[in-house]
Amino acid sequence: MITRRATFSSSHRYWLPELSPEQNEARFGACGIAPGHGHNYELIVAMGGGLDADGMVLNLSEVKHAIRSQVSAQLDFRCLNEVWPEFDLSRPEGRLPTTEALGQAIWTRLAPLIPLVGLRLYEQANLWVDLLPPAASSSAPAPSTPNLAAPMEAFLSIRTHFAAAHRLARPELSQSENEAIYGKCARPHGHGHNYLLDVTVRGRVDPRTGMVCDLAALQQLVDDLVVEPFDHTFLNKDVAHFATTVPTAENIALHIADLLSAPIAGLGASLHKVRLQESPNNAAEVFAEVPQLEMRPAALEALAAV
C-alpha cells in the first residue's frame, strides 16, 4: 500500500434554494453567509497492489498527474458550488459541497484511474472524512466507484480538546501497591493532561445536504456532554463516574463512548470510534461498533499516518 498527499484551496457556501433565508440561517449558521468561506484542503489517497518489476506499486508520477488533473487543478482557488455538477443546487440531484460530499466526488473521479483502497479529506485540522471501498458481498465483488445516486456511507471525524487532572489508584489497594501498578500516576495529589479527543461517526451521506449528520449539532453534543463537564476538573472528584472507576485513558474513552452513542444515534448517525490522546506518547481508541464493519484497518492506518 502506498499513499499520496495533495492540497488545494477552495471556497464553498451552504445554502439550499428550497429553504427560506431564515431556515438556511437556522440550519447552516455562518456557513451560509454569502459569498461563502474558504479552506485549505488536504487530500490523502491510499492505493494498493503488488510490486512491479520496477519495485513500485504504482508509478507515482502517474498518480501525481491523475490527482492533479482530476482534482487539484480543477478545484484550486475555485468555489466548490460552481465547479462540479454534483454541487449545482439547481439540479434535483445537486448537493451541498460538504467535506463528505466532496470526498465522494473526488473518489468517483480517481477510482477509474488508480486502485483506491482509502481516501481521507481534511477540511481543517479538526474536521475530516474517511472513505473506503464498499464491502464486497458474498455473490459480487465490491464496486470501485460509489454510485452517488445511491446512499453511501462515510466516516466523519471531529477533533476537540479539554484539560483535566486525574489520579490512577484503586481504593482497595495501599499506596505502595498502587505505585507498583500505576507508577508516578498514583501520587496522591494527581497530575494533569491536555487531552485531544477525536469522535468519528458513520452514516449515509444525505443526497441533498451532503452531510452524514448535522455537523453543528454533533459538535454541540460533544461540547455539552464531554468538554464542558470534563474541562478543568479533577476527574476522580468532579465526574461522578470516576468516583468508582479508575480514570485511565482507556476508561475515559469508554465513558465518552457511552455518553455519546445514543445522542449521536438521535442525529441519524452511528458513533464509530472515540480516540483519546492523553499525551504525545499515549492514546486510547474505543470502537463503538462491533464488528468493525470490515473497515480494512490497514487502509485507515495508512491514511492517518501521513
More reliable by pLDDT, 52 or 74: 74
The CA dihedral of 253, 256, 257, 261, to the nearest 10 degrees, is -170
By residue range, what is the domain housing residue 184? 151-306
What is residue 234's three-state secondary structure? strand
Q: Is the pLDDT of residue 295 over 50?
A: no
Report percent pLDDT > 90 for the chain: 80
Mean pLDDT of 65-70: 96
In a domain, 292, yes or no: yes
CA–CA distances in Å: residue 291 to residues 137, 226, 300? 16, 25, 16
In a domain, 141, yes or no: no
Q: How many domains does the chain have?
A: 2
DSSP 245: S
CA–CA distances in Å: residue 298 to residues 22, 71, 243, 294, 305? 45, 24, 37, 11, 10
Catalytic residue among 93, 191, 232, 289: 232
CATH assignment of the domain containing 283: 3.30.479.10
Residue 269 and residue 195 in one domain = yes
Catalytic residue among 25, 42, 179, 185: 185
Residue 41's pLDDT is what?
Answer: 98
What is residue 79's three-state secondary structure? strand
In a domain, 144, yes or no: no
Mean pLDDT of 280-304: 71
Q: Could you read off the pLDDT of 238-263 as tens digits, one per residue?
A: 999 999 999 999 999 999 999 999 99
**Is 189 annotated as catalytic?**
no
Residue 232 and residue 288 in one domain = yes
Query: HEC profile for 135-157?
Result: CCCCCCCCCCCCCCCCCCEEEEE
Neighbouring C-beta atoms of residue 77, cutoff 10 Å: 9
In a domain, 105, yes or no: yes
Neighbouring C-beta atoms of residue 139, cutoff 10 Å: 5
Residue 155 and residue 304 in one domain = yes
The answer to whether the CB of 270 falls within 8 A of the CB of 258 is no
Q: Is the pLDDT of residue 159 over 70?
A: yes
Reported in sequence order, the residue ranges of 167-242 that DSSP labels E, i.e. its strands, are: 191-204, 233-234
**Is 294 annotated as catalytic?**
no
Out of 135, 162, 186, a domain closes at: 135
Q: Could you read off the pLDDT of 161-197 as tens digits, one per residue?
A: 999 999 999 999 999 999 999 999 999 999 999 999 9
Mean pLDDT of 118-140: 80
In a domain, 145, yes or no: no
Residue 85 and residue 161 in one domain = no
**Is 65 annotated as catalytic?**
no
Out of 135, 165, 195, a domain closes at: 135
